[in-house]
Structure 1
Amino acid sequence: MRFLKLVTFLLLMISLQSAFGQSSSALKKRKEAITREIEELKRSRSKIDKNKKLSLNQINLLNTQIRLREDKIRTINTEIKMLDTKIISSTTEVISLQTNLNKLKAQYSKMIVFAFKNQGAYNKLMFIFASHNFNQAYMRLRYIQQVGTFRKRQAKEIITTQISLKKQINELDQNKKEKTNLLMDQIVEKQTLGKDKEQQSKILTGLTKKQKELQQHLSRKQKEANTLNKAIQEAIRKEILAAQRKEAERRRRAAAAEAASKAKNNTDKPKPVASGSSILASSPEDAKLSSSFLGSRGRMQKPAQGIITQGFGQQKFNNVTIFNPGINIKTAPGANVYAVYGGKVSKVIYLVNSYTIIIRHGEYFSIYSKLKNASVAAGQEVTARQSIGKVATDITEDLTEMQFQIWKGGTPVNPSGWISQ
């Protein structure tokens, strides 16, 4: 029974170690990915800083670097907490195995002493022949055999326990060393984070001194963004109007057919056509596509491989506030852009020296801006993960960055919750 308990205990610890190993591996991969992103941002910032020009991208990239550094510290903290749990578990296991080993050795020692005192064949025979009857003699013979078998099993259990104990002690030592290394990494990252924030403060101070230049820069950027947003809104408005006309025509024909067949009273009037964006999902096909697109929220892949450098919504820089209707993704030069979901290309726009592609998914639209080319055309059906163009590079700042938006009808929504991180 004791042997079975030991085996059960060891199996439980193996399963816990396996789960810990999987979680630890995921955290290590996450930490390595963050480190690569930080290094990439540092290289990009170095190129921008060499230009010696005031740039909003300077603060954007530094803010992203700080965010990633904080994320890395949180990941390290999670690793440390997991190791603490593992160390406590391993310590408990070592104590349990050591206690069990001491008991096994004590029992084995008593058995050896007993066997030594009764090791002669004569003593064993006398023990059997002293039986009162045949059944008792048979039972005593079985007892002697079982004692020998049990002694061998005890010896084997002692060896197994010693091996497990040694393994757990080694793992415990490794976990303690790993925790020490993580604590050192944590200190280094916190110190670097402090330096990044000092640099952030210096850049913000420099921007404050050049408030007028900053205002002009932001005004120009906002004007370009407004021009593009108006073009996007106009394209979506036309889609809505086209859907309304199509639905109105469908209902007119249906009403005419009903009147001709006298299926309904002549006084019946067709219902008014919806005026909102819901008209985009009025047909069964569009309704199904809208539902499917919504159902994939949180599981779509990013339209391009890279780092999100600017989020959705209002962005404040000193006393200046601008609105970003999507997210900005920094990529490698010439990176491909992919459709996040299947749909139909609504429009391809060329504005602000770059292309913008609008893809309709029923009531929803995915929008890809700052592209140097477009490999699809309006009216074309596209599939999920199909390449639709390449990201443009801002040659003045040597920065390759695209913007990704999602609209529900005529309203932009935060794309961050739609794509997998």
Structure 2
Amino acid sequence: MKLNKALLLIVAVCLCANAFAQSSKELKRKKEALQREIELATKNLKKAESGKKLTLGQINAIKAQIRLRQDKISTINSEMKNLDHQITENTHKVQNLKGRLADLKKEYAGMIRFAQRNRNSYDKMMFIFAANDFNQAYKRIKYLQQFGQYRKKQAAYIQGTEKQLSNQIVVLDKNLKNKTSLLKEEETEKSKLDKNRSEQTVVLNKLSKQEKQFQQDIKRKRQQQAAIDREIRAAIAREIAAAKKKAEEEARERERIAAAKAKAENRAAPTTESKPKTANEALRSTPEAAKLSDAFEANRGSLPSPVSNGYITTKFGAYKVDQASGRNDGVTFQTSEGASVRAVFNGKVTKVRSIFGRYFVIINHGEYFTVYQNLKSVSVAEGNSVSTKQTIGIAGDTDGVPEVTFQILRSSVAQNPEAWLAR
């Protein structure tokens, strides 16, 4: 009974250890991804700083550095909490194994002493022949065999427990070393974060000196972005109008056919079917469009990023940089130079347009649209069907920093892309 309890305890602790190990791997992957993003932000910041004029890209890059560094420190803290759990569990396991080993050795020593004390008094053969009948003699033979087997099992179990204990002590020592390493890494990241904040102060001081020029640049970019947004919304409005018109024409044709059939059969014409009332209904009026819409919606939270490497610098909605403010109907990624921009889901290219020296691409997914802005070049044309992760163009630069703005709209209503993209 004691043996079963001990085994159950060891199994339970092992399961906990496996769960912590899995979580630790996920945290390690997240930390490595954050480090890659930090390195990319540092590279982009150096590119932005090479110009004499302060740019929004430079400010966004340094803000991204600070945010990513804070995320990395938070991830390291989570790793340390995980390790603390593992250290606690492994310490308990070591203590339990030590206690169990002591009990086993004590029990085994008692068995050996008993066998030695009775070796001369109860010779095995005499013990068997002293039986009253054959049945009792057989039982005594089985008892001696089982007693010998049990001693061997106990000896093997002691050896196994000693090995487990030795292995667990090694694991515990490794946990403690890992925690020490993480503490050093956290201190390094905090030091770098302080340096980033000092750099931010320098940039903000520079901003105060160049504020007039900076404000003019922001105003110019905001006007350009407003023009791009109008183009995008006009293109989507045309798509919606065309879908409504097509749906209405198809409805009228079905009504005409039904009325002609009713007349030929000398019966009353059927009730007029209702026409699409909303843009969403029109965009998903065909079985193919409805299926595509449902598939796109089913992938909410798991769509791939439009760039394979990059980080978000401007989030969805209103934003403010110093005294300059604006609104982003999507999210803006800073990425690497020459980065490919890819479709986040299957669909059809409905618009490719060049404006202010950069392209934007609109892809239809039934009642949903995805928009990819600030492309230096494109590799798709209007009417093309595209698949998930297919390259549609190359990211363009904004003040020397590679950037892509990504939007998701349901009909004409902007959605927050971060709720749709995989984390």
Length-normalised TM-score, structure 2? 0.91
Among 377, 389, 396, which residue is 2:393 paired with? 389
Task: Write the distance in 1 (CA, Å) between the matches of 2:177 and 2:137.
Answer: 60
Among 298, 303, 313, which residue is 1:300 paired with? 303
- Uncovered stretches (5+) of structure 1, i.e. residues with no partner: none
Task: Write the distance in 1 (CA, Å) between the matches of 2:212 and 2:80.
Answer: 47
Instruction: Determine if the alignment matches structure 1 residue 323 to structure 2 residue 302.
Output: no
- Uncovered stretches (5+) of structure 2, i.e. residues with no partner: none
Structure 1 residues 251 and 141: alpha-carbon distance in aligned structure 2, compared to 1, 3 A threshold: closer
- How do 1:169-184 and structure 2 match up within 5 A? 169-184=169-184
Structure 1 residues 134 and 381: alpha-carbon distance in aligned structure 2, compared to 1, 3 A threshold: closer
Contact 1:376–1:388 (Cα < 8 Å) also in 2: yes
Among 360, 373, 378, which residue is 1:374 paired with? 378
- How do 1:47-62 and structure 2 match up within 5 A? 47-62=47-62
> Which residue number corresponds to residue 42 of structure 1?
42
Structure 1 residues 116 and 217: alpha-carbon distance in aligned structure 2, compared to 1, 3 A threshold: same
> Which residue number corresponds to residue 25 of structure 1?
25
SS of the residue corresponding to residue 301 of structure 1 reads: coil
Task: Write the distance in 2 (CA, Å) between the matches of 1:38 and 1:239.
Answer: 40
**C-alpha RMSD over aligned residues:** 2.3
> Which residue number corresponds to residue 285 of structure 1?
288
> Which residue number corresponds to residue 420 of structure 1?
422
What is the percentage of aligned positions where both structures have the same residue? 40
Instruction: Determine if the alignment matches structure 1 residue 400 to structure 2 residue 402.
Output: yes
Contact 2:333–2:405 (Cα < 8 Å) also in 1: yes
Task: Write the distance in 2 (CA, Å) between the matches of 1:2 and 1:392.
Answer: 69
Task: Write the distance in 2 (CA, Å) between the matches of 1:341 and 1:198.
Answer: 41
Structure 1 residues 135 and 380: alpha-carbon distance in aligned structure 2, compared to 1, 3 A threshold: closer
Contact 1:306–1:329 (Cα < 8 Å) also in 2: no
Task: Write the distance in 1 (CA, Å) between the matches of 2:348 and 2:175.
Answer: 53
Q: Tell me which amino acid in the other structure corresponds to 1:317.
A: V
Q: Is the deviation greater in 86-95 or in 324-333?
A: 324-333
Task: Write the distance in 1 (CA, Å) between the matches of 2:108 and 2:248.
Answer: 93
Q: CA deviation at 1:219?
A: 0.3
Contact 1:277–1:410 (Cα < 8 Å) also in 2: no
SS of the residue corresponding to residue 392 of structure 1 reads: strand
Among 313, 318, 334, which residue is 2:338 paired with? 334
> Which residue number corresponds to residue 157 of structure 1?
157
Q: Tell me which amino acid in the other structure corresponds to 2:47.
A: K
- How do 1:137-148 and structure 2 match up within 5 A? 137-148=137-148
> Which residue number corresponds to residue 344 of structure 1?
348
Q: Tell me which amino acid in the other structure corresponds to 1:332.
A: S
Q: Is the deviation greater in 235-244 or in 331-340?
A: 331-340
Q: CA deviation at 1:19?
A: 2.7
> Which residue number corresponds to residue 202 of structure 1?
202
SS of the residue corresponding to residue 341 of structure 2 reads: strand
Q: Is the deviation greater in 1-10 or in 147-156?
A: 1-10
Contact 1:345–1:380 (Cα < 8 Å) also in 2: yes
Contact 1:208–1:318 (Cα < 8 Å) also in 2: no
Among 349, 352, 359, which residue is 2:363 paired with? 359
Task: Write the distance in 2 (CA, Å) between the matches of 1:107 and 1:84.
Answer: 34
Q: Is the deviation greater in 89-98 or in 325-334?
A: 325-334
Q: CA deviation at 1:329?
A: 1.9
Contact 2:259–2:270 (Cα < 8 Å) also in 1: no
Task: Write the distance in 2 (CA, Å) between the matches of 1:269 and 1:15.
Answer: 64
Q: Tell me which amino acid in the other structure corresponds to 1:87.
A: I
SS of the residue corresponding to residue 79 of structure 1 reads: helix
Task: Write the distance in 1 (CA, Å) between the matches of 2:255 and 2:154.
Answer: 91
Structure 1 residues 404 and 147: alpha-carbon distance in aligned structure 2, compared to 1, 3 A threshold: same
Task: Write the distance in 2 (CA, Å) between the matches of 1:76 and 1:298.
Answer: 25
Aligned residues: 419
- How do 1:223-238 and structure 2 match up within 5 A? 223-238=223-238
Q: Tell me which amino acid in the other structure corresponds to 1:218.
A: I
Q: CA deviation at 1:271?
A: 4.2
SS of the residue corresponding to residue 85 of structure 1 reads: helix
Contact 2:40–2:336 (Cα < 8 Å) also in 1: no
- How do 1:235-250 and structure 2 match up within 5 A? 235-250=235-250
Contact 1:368–1:405 (Cα < 8 Å) also in 2: yes
For residues 130-170 of structure 1, what are the alpha-carbon distances to aligned partners after superposition, in whole Å with 9 as ceiling and x for unaligned? 44444444433333333222222111111111111111111
Task: Write the distance in 2 (CA, Å) between the matches of 1:244 and 1:402.
Answer: 31
Q: CA deviation at 1:380?
A: 1.9
For residues 357-390 of structure 1, what are the alpha-carbon distances to aligned partners after superposition, in whole Å with 9 as ceiling and x for unaligned? 1111111111111112121111222222222121
Q: Is the deviation greater in 266-275 or in 356-365?
A: 266-275
Q: CA deviation at 1:125?
A: 3.8
> Which residue number corresponds to residue 76 of structure 1?
76
Instruction: Determine if the alignment matches structure 1 residue 102 to structure 2 residue 106.
Output: no
Q: Is the deviation greater in 307-316 or in 183-192?
A: 183-192
Q: Tell me which amino acid in the other structure corresponds to 2:60.
A: N
Task: Write the distance in 2 (CA, Å) between the matches of 1:84 and 1:275.
Answer: 56
For residues 246-265 of structure 1, what are the alpha-carbon distances to aligned partners after superposition, in whole Å with 9 as ceiling and x for unaligned? 12222332333344344786
Instruction: Determine if the alignment matches structure 1 residue 251 to structure 2 residue 255.
Output: no
Q: Tell me which amino acid in the other structure corresponds to 1:177.
A: K
Task: Write the distance in 2 (CA, Å) between the matches of 1:311 and 1:222.
Answer: 16
Q: Is the deviation greater in 78-87 or in 259-268?
A: 259-268
Structure 1 residues 171 and 417: alpha-carbon distance in aligned structure 2, compared to 1, 3 A threshold: same
Structure 1 residues 137 and 52: alpha-carbon distance in aligned structure 2, compared to 1, 3 A threshold: same
Contact 1:278–1:409 (Cα < 8 Å) also in 2: no
